[in-house]
Amino acid sequence: MNKNITAPQVRLIDENGKMVGVMSSQEALAFAESRGLDLIEIAPNAKPPTCKVMDYGKWKYENKKKAVAARKKQTVIVIKEVQVRPRTDQHDLEVKLRHARRFLLDGDKVKINLRFSGREMAHQELGLQLLEKLTAELSNLAVVEQPPKREGRHMFVLLAPDPAKIKEYKKQETAQEKEASEEETAS
């Protein structure tokens, strides 16, 4: 920027984006100062380096605003984890499924993690059946992003929310709530 530009010659672009031409860096700096602006090197690796005449403070402020806007638009993917065991009771599985459903409806991915201990390792097919059962229960909200996979004493499946399925699920829920309220008023 300004006096820190060491190249003997620079290609100059004025504040309106028009090419002025190739000139010495001192002439380019004088050109920028005559307009009350800064001389900023935008392409230092070009031959000769390209410099632009602009208000550095304003440029920095606008870049900061663009970066904040880009951060606001990005979505953070959260993976929620549900832990089960091959001998987990039916009621406990229903509670875990209810949690997984809530996570999927919130737009988070769900990792169902099945942990084997001791002799349960001898019957891994039971664990696979349990994961497939849980996946089938959640198939009305999610798609399988990663099929059941085994890593040591763990087996897991990764489910991602499917926006179309979630929309349909919410429609069905509101229709059921409407029917229930109509039955209550009829009684």
- List, in order of start, the domains of the chain with CATH numbers: 2-55 (3.10.20.80), 79-163 (3.30.110.10)
Provide the token pair at 43.
């392409």
C-alpha–C-alpha distance, residues 105 and 108, integer Å: 7
pLDDT at 168 > cutoff 80: yes
| Alpha-carbon dihedral angle through residues 89, 112, 137, 95, given to the nearest 10 degrees | 40
pLDDT at 157 > cutoff 90: yes
Percent of residues in the chain assigned helix, strand, coil, to nearest 5: 50, 30, 25
What is residue 187's predicted lDDT score, i.e. its pLDDT? 64
**DSSP designation for 122:** G
What is residue 152's predicted lDDT score, i.e. its pLDDT? 85
Q: pTM for the complete prediction? A: 0.57
Residue 5: name the closest of 50, 67, 54, 37 by CA. 50
What is residue 72's predicted lDDT score, i.e. its pLDDT? 84
> Helix, strand or coil for residue 84?
strand
pLDDT at 71 > cutoff 90: no
